Protein backbone atom coordinates (compact mmCIF):
# COMPACT_ATOMS: atom_id res chain seq x y z
CA UNK A 1 0.00 0.00 0.00
CA UNK A 2 1.07 3.55 -0.71
CA UNK A 3 -1.54 5.35 1.42
CA UNK A 4 -0.16 7.58 4.20
CA UNK A 5 -0.53 6.19 7.70
CA UNK A 6 -2.11 9.42 8.91
CA UNK A 7 -5.24 8.58 6.87
CA UNK A 8 -5.59 5.36 8.88
CA UNK A 9 -4.82 6.76 12.31
CA UNK A 10 -6.98 9.88 11.99
CA UNK A 11 -10.20 7.83 11.78
CA UNK A 12 -10.23 6.99 15.47
CA UNK A 13 -8.21 9.93 16.72
CA UNK A 14 -9.01 11.26 20.19
CA UNK A 15 -8.00 13.93 22.69
CA UNK A 16 -5.89 11.49 24.78
CA UNK A 17 -3.99 10.49 21.63
CA UNK A 18 -3.43 14.16 20.79
CA UNK A 19 -2.09 14.80 24.30
CA UNK A 20 0.31 11.85 24.07
CA UNK A 21 1.44 12.88 20.56
CA UNK A 22 1.95 16.49 21.68
CA UNK A 23 4.18 15.56 24.61
CA UNK A 24 6.20 13.18 22.43
CA UNK A 25 6.52 15.67 19.57
CA UNK A 26 7.76 18.44 21.86
CA UNK A 27 10.22 16.05 23.54
CA UNK A 28 11.68 15.03 20.18
CA UNK A 29 11.88 18.65 19.02
CA UNK A 30 14.08 19.52 21.99
CA UNK A 31 16.54 16.89 20.73
CA UNK A 32 16.11 17.62 17.02
CA UNK A 33 16.73 21.37 17.32
CA UNK A 34 20.40 21.34 18.44
CA UNK A 35 21.14 18.16 16.50
CA UNK A 36 19.87 19.66 13.23
CA UNK A 37 22.12 22.68 13.75
CA UNK A 38 25.14 20.50 14.56
CA UNK A 39 24.60 18.24 11.52
CA UNK A 40 24.27 21.22 9.19
CA UNK A 41 27.49 22.80 10.46
CA UNK A 42 29.37 19.50 10.23
CA UNK A 43 28.11 19.13 6.65
CA UNK A 44 29.64 22.45 5.64
CA UNK A 45 26.25 24.21 5.52
CA UNK A 46 24.72 27.06 7.53
CA UNK A 47 22.88 26.26 10.80
CA UNK A 48 19.57 27.45 9.33
CA UNK A 49 19.76 24.78 6.62
CA UNK A 50 19.56 22.01 9.19
CA UNK A 51 16.56 23.59 10.88
CA UNK A 52 14.78 24.06 7.55
CA UNK A 53 15.32 20.38 6.86
CA UNK A 54 13.85 19.38 10.22
CA UNK A 55 10.81 21.62 9.75
CA UNK A 56 9.93 21.04 6.09
CA UNK A 57 11.24 17.50 5.69
CA UNK A 58 10.10 16.35 9.11
CA UNK A 59 6.58 17.70 8.58
CA UNK A 60 6.11 16.08 5.17
CA UNK A 61 7.56 12.70 6.20
CA UNK A 62 5.00 12.51 9.00
CA UNK A 63 2.19 13.86 6.83
CA UNK A 64 2.51 11.46 3.89
CA UNK A 65 4.75 8.69 5.30
CA UNK A 66 3.98 5.04 5.88
CA UNK A 67 4.95 4.83 9.57
CA UNK A 68 2.93 5.85 12.62
CA UNK A 69 5.89 7.16 14.57
CA UNK A 70 8.64 8.04 12.06
CA UNK A 71 10.50 11.30 12.73
CA UNK A 72 12.24 12.87 9.74
CA UNK A 73 15.07 15.37 9.54
CA UNK A 74 18.77 15.71 8.73
CA UNK A 75 20.87 12.79 9.94
CA UNK A 76 24.54 12.04 10.54
CA UNK A 77 24.57 9.52 7.69
CA UNK A 78 24.44 12.40 5.19
CA UNK A 79 27.23 14.52 6.69
CA UNK A 80 30.01 12.98 4.63
CA UNK A 81 28.29 13.08 1.26
CA UNK A 82 26.79 16.55 1.83
CA UNK A 83 30.18 17.95 2.85
CA UNK A 84 31.75 16.53 -0.32
CA UNK A 85 29.02 17.87 -2.62
CA UNK A 86 29.17 21.36 -1.11
CA UNK A 87 32.97 21.39 -1.33
CA UNK A 88 32.93 20.42 -5.01
CA UNK A 89 29.70 21.90 -6.37
CA UNK A 90 28.67 24.55 -3.84
CA UNK A 91 25.44 24.61 -1.87
CA UNK A 92 23.33 25.09 -5.00
CA UNK A 93 24.78 21.81 -6.31
CA UNK A 94 23.56 20.09 -3.15
CA UNK A 95 20.07 21.52 -3.68
CA UNK A 96 20.00 20.18 -7.24
CA UNK A 97 21.27 16.72 -6.20
CA UNK A 98 18.72 16.53 -3.35
CA UNK A 99 15.88 17.57 -5.66
CA UNK A 100 16.85 14.86 -8.15
CA UNK A 101 17.09 12.32 -5.33
CA UNK A 102 13.52 13.20 -4.38
CA UNK A 103 12.34 12.47 -7.91
CA UNK A 104 14.20 9.14 -7.88
CA UNK A 105 12.54 8.19 -4.58
CA UNK A 106 9.06 9.06 -5.87
CA UNK A 107 9.63 6.82 -8.90
CA UNK A 108 10.93 4.05 -6.61
CA UNK A 109 7.91 4.37 -4.32
CA UNK A 110 5.45 4.45 -7.22
CA UNK A 111 6.86 1.21 -8.59
CA UNK A 112 6.74 -0.38 -5.11
CA UNK A 113 10.48 -0.77 -4.71
CA UNK A 114 10.41 -0.16 -0.96
CA UNK A 115 10.27 -3.88 -0.23
CA UNK A 116 13.67 -4.41 -1.85
CA UNK A 117 15.44 -2.98 1.21
CA UNK A 118 15.24 -6.53 2.61
CA UNK A 119 17.78 -7.58 0.00
CA UNK A 120 20.47 -5.12 1.13
CA UNK A 121 22.87 -7.11 3.34
CA UNK A 122 23.03 -5.94 6.94
CA UNK A 123 26.83 -6.19 6.81
CA UNK A 124 26.89 -3.47 4.15
CA UNK A 125 24.64 -1.18 6.20
CA UNK A 126 26.77 -1.77 9.30
CA UNK A 127 29.97 -1.19 7.33
CA UNK A 128 29.14 2.18 5.86
CA UNK A 129 27.40 3.29 9.09
CA UNK A 130 30.57 2.61 11.09
CA UNK A 131 32.65 4.25 8.36
CA UNK A 132 30.48 7.37 8.42
CA UNK A 133 30.72 7.46 12.22
CA UNK A 134 34.54 7.44 11.99
CA UNK A 135 34.51 10.27 9.45
CA UNK A 136 32.10 12.35 11.55
CA UNK A 137 34.16 11.90 14.71
CA UNK A 138 37.44 12.94 13.07
CA UNK A 139 35.78 15.88 11.30
CA UNK A 140 34.72 17.27 14.70
CA UNK A 141 38.15 17.08 16.37
CA UNK A 142 39.04 20.54 15.08
CA UNK A 143 36.24 22.23 17.03
CA UNK A 144 36.43 19.73 19.91
CA UNK A 145 40.10 20.58 20.56
CA UNK A 146 40.05 24.18 19.36
CA UNK A 147 42.59 23.56 16.59
CA UNK A 148 43.33 26.23 14.02
CA UNK A 149 43.62 25.59 10.30
CA UNK A 150 42.13 27.48 7.43
CA UNK A 151 39.81 25.00 5.70
CA UNK A 152 38.67 21.53 6.69
CA UNK A 153 39.53 19.09 3.86
CA UNK A 154 36.97 16.57 2.60
CA UNK A 155 39.45 13.70 2.23
CA UNK A 156 40.07 11.56 5.34
CA UNK A 157 43.85 11.30 4.91
CA UNK A 158 44.10 15.04 4.31
CA UNK A 159 42.01 15.60 7.44
CA UNK A 160 44.41 13.50 9.49
CA UNK A 161 47.37 15.46 8.09
CA UNK A 162 45.68 18.80 8.83
CA UNK A 163 44.85 17.72 12.39
CA UNK A 164 48.41 16.57 12.99
CA UNK A 165 49.93 19.76 11.56
CA UNK A 166 47.64 21.86 13.80
CA UNK A 167 48.18 19.78 16.95
CA UNK A 168 50.06 22.59 18.72
CA UNK A 169 47.16 25.05 18.34
CA UNK A 170 44.81 23.35 20.80
CA UNK A 171 42.97 25.48 23.37
CA UNK A 172 42.46 24.24 26.92
CA UNK A 173 39.31 26.35 27.32
CA UNK A 174 37.76 24.73 24.24
CA UNK A 175 38.68 21.23 25.39
CA UNK A 176 37.15 21.99 28.79
CA UNK A 177 33.84 23.08 27.22
CA UNK A 178 33.81 19.97 24.99
CA UNK A 179 34.44 17.56 27.87
CA UNK A 180 31.90 19.32 30.09
CA UNK A 181 29.25 18.95 27.36
CA UNK A 182 30.03 15.26 26.88
CA UNK A 183 29.82 14.55 30.61
CA UNK A 184 26.56 16.49 30.99
CA UNK A 185 24.85 14.74 28.05
CA UNK A 186 25.84 11.29 29.31
CA UNK A 187 24.87 12.17 32.89
CA UNK A 188 21.45 13.51 31.91
CA UNK A 189 20.73 10.47 29.73
CA UNK A 190 21.52 8.09 32.58
CA UNK A 191 20.24 10.00 35.60
CA UNK A 192 17.35 12.00 34.11
CA UNK A 193 16.35 10.39 30.80
CA UNK A 194 13.04 12.30 30.68
CA UNK A 195 14.82 15.63 30.86
CA UNK A 196 15.75 17.27 27.50
CA UNK A 197 19.40 16.60 28.26
CA UNK A 198 20.83 17.83 24.95
CA UNK A 199 19.33 21.29 25.26
CA UNK A 200 20.23 21.56 28.95
CA UNK A 201 23.82 20.38 28.42
CA UNK A 202 24.38 22.74 25.49
CA UNK A 203 22.81 25.62 27.43
CA UNK A 204 25.00 25.06 30.49
CA UNK A 205 28.20 24.77 28.44
CA UNK A 206 27.35 27.80 26.29
CA UNK A 207 26.36 29.89 29.31
CA UNK A 208 29.70 29.00 30.89
CA UNK A 209 31.47 30.38 27.82
CA UNK A 210 29.56 33.66 28.15
CA UNK A 211 29.83 33.93 31.94
CA UNK A 212 33.59 33.33 32.04
CA UNK A 213 34.18 35.22 28.76
CA UNK A 214 36.12 32.31 27.29
CA UNK A 215 37.86 32.63 23.89
CA UNK A 216 35.64 29.96 22.35
CA UNK A 217 33.84 30.06 18.98
CA UNK A 218 30.04 30.27 18.95
CA UNK A 219 27.50 29.99 16.15
CA UNK A 220 27.21 33.79 16.10
CA UNK A 221 30.97 34.41 15.94
CA UNK A 222 31.36 31.99 13.03
CA UNK A 223 28.12 32.32 11.04
CA UNK A 224 26.58 35.59 12.18
CA UNK A 225 23.02 36.07 13.38
CA UNK A 226 20.67 33.14 12.82
CA UNK A 227 17.54 33.94 10.74
CA UNK A 228 14.25 33.73 12.62
CA UNK A 229 12.14 32.44 9.76
CA UNK A 230 12.18 30.09 6.77
CA UNK A 231 12.71 31.56 3.28
CA UNK A 232 10.09 31.40 0.56
CA UNK A 233 10.40 28.39 -1.79
CA UNK A 234 12.25 28.70 -5.07
CA UNK A 235 13.63 26.26 -7.61
CA UNK A 236 17.45 25.93 -7.46
CA UNK A 237 19.30 27.03 -10.58
CA UNK A 238 20.67 24.19 -12.70
CA UNK A 239 22.10 23.23 -16.08
CA UNK A 240 21.96 19.94 -17.96
CA UNK A 241 25.71 19.50 -17.53
CA UNK A 242 25.25 19.90 -13.78
CA UNK A 243 22.41 17.37 -13.75
CA UNK A 244 24.55 14.83 -15.57
CA UNK A 245 27.47 15.44 -13.21
CA UNK A 246 25.35 15.21 -10.05
CA UNK A 247 23.21 12.23 -11.08
CA UNK A 248 25.41 9.58 -9.37
CA UNK A 249 25.33 11.66 -6.17
CA UNK A 250 21.55 11.93 -6.44
CA UNK A 251 21.27 8.14 -6.59
CA UNK A 252 23.47 7.82 -3.47
CA UNK A 253 21.34 10.37 -1.60
CA UNK A 254 18.19 8.53 -2.70
CA UNK A 255 19.61 5.19 -1.58
CA UNK A 256 20.67 6.54 1.81
CA UNK A 257 17.36 8.32 2.37
CA UNK A 258 15.33 5.27 1.39
CA UNK A 259 17.48 2.76 3.27
CA UNK A 260 17.78 4.75 6.51
CA UNK A 261 14.10 5.65 6.61
CA UNK A 262 12.99 2.05 6.05
CA UNK A 263 15.45 0.74 8.63
CA UNK A 264 14.18 3.37 11.05
CA UNK A 265 10.59 2.31 10.35
CA UNK A 266 11.55 -1.33 10.96
CA UNK A 267 13.09 -0.42 14.32
CA UNK A 268 9.99 1.59 15.20
CA UNK A 269 7.78 -1.40 14.37
CA UNK A 270 9.82 -3.57 16.74
CA UNK A 271 9.46 -1.01 19.52
CA UNK A 272 5.81 -0.11 19.03
CA UNK A 273 4.33 -3.31 17.64
CA UNK A 274 3.16 -1.53 14.48
CA UNK A 275 3.59 -2.26 10.79
CA UNK A 276 4.84 0.41 8.40
CA UNK A 277 4.04 0.69 4.68
CA UNK A 278 7.41 0.67 2.90
CA UNK A 279 6.24 2.07 -0.43
CA UNK A 280 4.34 4.92 1.23
CA UNK A 281 7.47 5.64 3.26
CA UNK A 282 9.66 5.79 0.14
CA UNK A 283 7.14 8.11 -1.54
CA UNK A 284 7.23 10.33 1.53
CA UNK A 285 11.01 10.51 1.36
CA UNK A 286 10.67 11.57 -2.26
CA UNK A 287 8.19 14.34 -1.47
CA UNK A 288 10.30 15.56 1.45
CA UNK A 289 13.53 15.60 -0.56
CA UNK A 290 11.87 17.56 -3.34
CA UNK A 291 10.39 20.12 -0.93
CA UNK A 292 13.40 20.55 1.36
CA UNK A 293 15.77 22.01 -1.29
CA UNK A 294 13.02 24.34 -2.53
CA UNK A 295 13.26 26.08 0.86
CA UNK A 296 17.07 25.77 1.01
CA UNK A 297 17.13 22.60 3.08
CA UNK A 298 19.41 19.57 3.01
CA UNK A 299 18.70 15.88 2.30
CA UNK A 300 16.15 14.47 4.72
CA UNK A 301 15.34 10.96 5.91
CA UNK A 302 13.83 9.06 8.80
CA UNK A 303 16.04 9.45 11.87
CA UNK A 304 16.40 6.24 13.88
CA UNK A 305 17.41 7.83 17.20
CA UNK A 306 14.73 10.54 17.07
CA UNK A 307 12.10 8.00 16.01
CA UNK A 308 13.06 5.76 18.93
CA UNK A 309 12.82 8.77 21.25
CA UNK A 310 9.35 9.49 19.89
CA UNK A 311 8.21 5.93 20.68
CA UNK A 312 9.72 6.05 24.19
CA UNK A 313 8.08 9.43 24.83
CA UNK A 314 4.65 8.01 24.01
CA UNK A 315 4.11 9.06 20.39
CA UNK A 316 1.28 7.04 18.84
CA UNK A 317 0.46 8.56 15.45
CA UNK A 318 2.05 10.76 12.73
CA UNK A 319 0.63 13.79 14.53
CA UNK A 320 3.59 13.53 16.92
CA UNK A 321 5.94 14.07 13.98
CA UNK A 322 3.90 17.05 12.77
CA UNK A 323 4.05 18.62 16.24
CA UNK A 324 7.81 17.94 16.35
CA UNK A 325 8.32 19.91 13.12
CA UNK A 326 6.04 22.77 14.22
CA UNK A 327 7.83 22.97 17.58
CA UNK A 328 11.22 23.24 15.87
CA UNK A 329 9.77 26.04 13.72
CA UNK A 330 8.42 27.83 16.79
CA UNK A 331 11.81 27.53 18.52
CA UNK A 332 13.48 28.97 15.41
CA UNK A 333 11.17 32.00 15.39
CA UNK A 334 11.28 32.65 19.12
CA UNK A 335 14.78 31.67 20.17
CA UNK A 336 17.08 32.35 17.21
CA UNK A 337 18.80 35.21 19.08
CA UNK A 338 19.82 32.92 21.97
CA UNK A 339 20.68 29.99 19.70
CA UNK A 340 23.53 32.07 18.25
CA UNK A 341 25.33 31.80 21.60
CA UNK A 342 25.69 28.01 21.32
CA UNK A 343 29.37 27.10 21.69
CA UNK A 344 30.95 25.31 18.74
CA UNK A 345 32.92 22.82 20.90
CA UNK A 346 29.65 21.87 22.62
CA UNK A 347 28.10 21.06 19.23
CA UNK A 348 31.25 19.13 18.28
CA UNK A 349 30.94 17.09 21.47
CA UNK A 350 27.31 16.36 20.61
CA UNK A 351 28.26 15.08 17.16
CA UNK A 352 31.15 12.97 18.45
CA UNK A 353 28.71 11.31 20.86
CA UNK A 354 26.27 10.89 17.96
CA UNK A 355 29.01 9.20 15.92
CA UNK A 356 29.75 6.86 18.84
CA UNK A 357 26.08 5.90 19.02
CA UNK A 358 25.91 5.44 15.24
CA UNK A 359 28.70 2.87 15.41
CA UNK A 360 26.59 0.86 17.90
CA UNK A 361 29.47 -0.41 20.07
CA UNK A 362 27.03 -2.65 21.96
CA UNK A 363 26.79 -4.77 18.78
CA UNK A 364 30.55 -5.45 18.47
CA UNK A 365 30.23 -8.97 19.88
CA UNK A 366 27.43 -9.73 17.44
CA UNK A 367 29.59 -8.53 14.53
CA UNK A 368 32.50 -10.72 15.69
CA UNK A 369 30.24 -13.79 15.81
CA UNK A 370 28.93 -13.22 12.27
CA UNK A 371 30.05 -15.48 9.38
CA UNK A 372 33.46 -14.71 7.91
CA UNK A 373 31.91 -13.45 4.66
CA UNK A 374 29.72 -10.96 6.55
CA UNK A 375 32.64 -9.70 8.61
CA UNK A 376 34.78 -9.29 5.50
CA UNK A 377 31.97 -7.46 3.71
CA UNK A 378 31.41 -5.12 6.65
CA UNK A 379 35.12 -4.30 6.97
CA UNK A 380 35.48 -3.77 3.21
CA UNK A 381 32.49 -1.42 3.10
CA UNK A 382 33.81 0.48 6.13
CA UNK A 383 37.32 0.85 4.66
CA UNK A 384 35.96 2.02 1.29
CA UNK A 385 33.69 4.53 3.04
CA UNK A 386 36.56 6.01 5.05
CA UNK A 387 39.42 5.93 2.56
CA UNK A 388 37.77 6.02 -0.88
CA UNK A 389 34.24 7.29 -1.33
CA UNK A 390 30.75 6.61 -0.03
CA UNK A 391 29.42 6.07 -3.55
CA UNK A 392 32.04 3.42 -4.24
CA UNK A 393 31.47 1.81 -0.84
CA UNK A 394 27.74 1.45 -1.40
CA UNK A 395 28.14 0.21 -4.97
CA UNK A 396 30.82 -2.36 -4.18
CA UNK A 397 29.26 -3.42 -0.87
CA UNK A 398 25.75 -3.95 -2.24
CA UNK A 399 27.03 -5.74 -5.35
CA UNK A 400 29.26 -8.13 -3.42
CA UNK A 401 26.59 -8.65 -0.78
CA UNK A 402 23.97 -9.61 -3.33
CA UNK A 403 26.44 -11.93 -5.05
CA UNK A 404 27.07 -13.69 -1.73
CA UNK A 405 23.34 -13.93 -1.10
CA UNK A 406 22.69 -15.39 -4.54
CA UNK A 407 25.53 -17.83 -4.06
CA UNK A 408 24.08 -19.13 -0.82
CA UNK A 409 20.53 -18.75 -2.20
CA UNK A 410 19.40 -17.60 1.22
CA UNK A 411 17.85 -14.18 1.71
CA UNK A 412 17.20 -13.91 5.44
CA UNK A 413 15.23 -11.30 7.33
CA UNK A 414 17.67 -9.12 9.24
CA UNK A 415 17.49 -8.98 13.00
CA UNK A 416 17.71 -5.27 13.69
CA UNK A 417 18.38 -4.54 17.34
CA UNK A 418 16.81 -1.75 19.34
CA UNK A 419 19.13 1.28 19.28
CA UNK A 420 20.57 2.40 22.58
CA UNK A 421 20.54 6.10 21.77
Over the stretch 221-233, which tens digit does the pLDDT of each residue have?
Answer: 999 888 988 999 9
Q: Are 313 and 321 spatial neighbours (Cβ–Cβ below 8 Å)?
A: no
Radius of gyration over every alpha carbon of the chain, rounded to an integer in angstroms: 20
Q: Are 346 and 202 spatial neighbours (Cβ–Cβ below 8 Å)?
A: yes
- Distant-in-sequence, close-in-space partners of 367: CB < 8 Å, separation ≥ 6: 126, 375, 378
**Element housing 385 (H / E):** helix 372-387
Distance from C-alpha of 419 to C-alpha of 309, rounded to nearest angstrom: 10
Report CA-CA distances (Å) from 134 to 96, 129, 140, 217, 288.
Answer: 27, 9, 10, 24, 28
Predicted TM-score of the model (pTM): 0.89
Q: Dmax of the chain from CA atoms?
A: 64
The residue among 284, 293, 279 whose CA lies nearest residue 250 is 293
The residue among 187, 201, 386, 416 whose CA lies nearest residue 304 is 416
Q: What is the pLDDT along the chain (421 residues), one digit of tens a residue?
A: 678 999 999 988 999 999 999 999 999 999 999 999 999 999 999 999 999 999 999 999 999 999 999 999 999 889 989 999 999 999 999 999 999 999 999 999 988 887 776 677 888 888 988 999 999 999 999 999 999 877 777 789 999 999 999 999 999 999 999 999 999 999 998 998 878 888 899 999 999 999 999 999 999 999 988 898 899 999 999 899 999 999 999 999 999 999 889 888 888 888 888 888 899 999 999 999 999 999 999 999 999 889 999 998 999 999 999 999 999 999 999 988 888 999 999 999 999 999 998 888 988 889 888 899 899 999 999 999 999 887 788 889 888 988 887 776 554 445 445 444 4
Under DSSP, is residue 295 helix (H, G, I), strand (E, B) or coil?
coil
Side-chain-side CA neighbours of 52 within 13 Å: the count stands at: 25
* Dihedral sign (CA 187, 45, 227, 72): negative
Render pLDDT for 74-130 as a digit per residue (tens, 0 to 9).
998 899 899 999 999 999 999 999 999 999 999 999 888 877 766 778 888 889 889
Amino acid sequence: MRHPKILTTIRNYSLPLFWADSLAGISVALIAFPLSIAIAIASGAEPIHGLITAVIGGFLISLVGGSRVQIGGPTGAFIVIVFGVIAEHGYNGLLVATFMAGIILIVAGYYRMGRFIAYVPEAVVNGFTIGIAILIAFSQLKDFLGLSFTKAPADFIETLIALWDARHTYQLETIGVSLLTLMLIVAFRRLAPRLPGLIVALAIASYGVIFFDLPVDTIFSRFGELPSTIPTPQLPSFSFDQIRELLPTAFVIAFLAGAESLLSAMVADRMSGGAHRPNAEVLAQGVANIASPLFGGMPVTGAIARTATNVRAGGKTPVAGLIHALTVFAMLMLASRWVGHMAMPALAALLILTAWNMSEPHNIRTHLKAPVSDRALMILTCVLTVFVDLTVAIGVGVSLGLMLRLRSRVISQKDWSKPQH
